[in-house]
Amino acid sequence: MKYLKSFFVVGFLLLSLFLVSFSNSEETITPFKIDNQELKTAYFASGCFWCVEAIFESVDGVEEAISGYAGGFTKDPTYKTIGTGRTGHAETVAVYYNPKKVSFKTLVAIFFGSHDPTTKNGQHPDYGTQYRSIAFYTNLNEKKIINDYIGEINIRYYQGKIVTEVTQLIKFYQAEDYHQNFERLNPNHPYVRKVSIPRLKRFKKKFPYLLKKSASLH
């Protein structure tokens, strides 16, 4: 009996250590740093950031896309807290791009062309304020480019139904490490197979002339 109790105690301790380790791995955030001073950053929210990150990373001129949170009022949001819909934040992607290869206006066109900007608070199959459509700006020129582009396409293609927010970026919070490059690192994940990959393929078919040479159309 004494040995049986010891066995259960050891088992319980090992399980506890595993759960703590798993929990900590989910919360780990390794700050992203980039040395290329030529790069600029654009910020967009249009549904699940796994999908959005994969789309922008396929674009020629985009060096990196980082998943995170922005647009809200809560300090230091996490994936768990924004999931409540009470932080004000949306799943957002920071796009690091070379303006000599791709313009901010082109990134705005990619943003609007890769999701439904008429859907309020969501992109199928994800709904809630954390999945709403937001085009962020960091200066007045970017704001003008976004608003001018909306003016070009809203009536012509969307019957005036665009609900995308045009919001000044106050602060971008990088998401946990396990969210970064999620689509590429988890190709067999059910959500990736059913949602992310099909969305990426639709984008590639629509904008083949914007893709990196390494980005396959398949």
Please pick, among 42, 45, 48, 59, the residue that the annotation labels catalytic: 48
Q: What is the distance between the alpha carbons of residues 173 and 66, in angstroms, rounded to a whole number?
A: 10
Length of the chain (residues): 218
Distance from C-alpha of 41 to C-alpha of 94, rounded to nearest angstrom: 6
Dihedral, 164, 165, 170, 173 alpha carbons, nearest 10: -40
Write the DSSP symbol of residue 59: B
State how beta strands 126-127 and 122-123 pair. antiparallel
d(CA 37, CA 42): 15
* Active site (annotated) includes residue 48: yes
Cα(40)–Cα(141) distance, integer angstroms = 14
Q: Tell me how many degrees the CA angle 165-111-180 measures, rounded to the nearest 5.
A: 100
Catalytic residues: 48
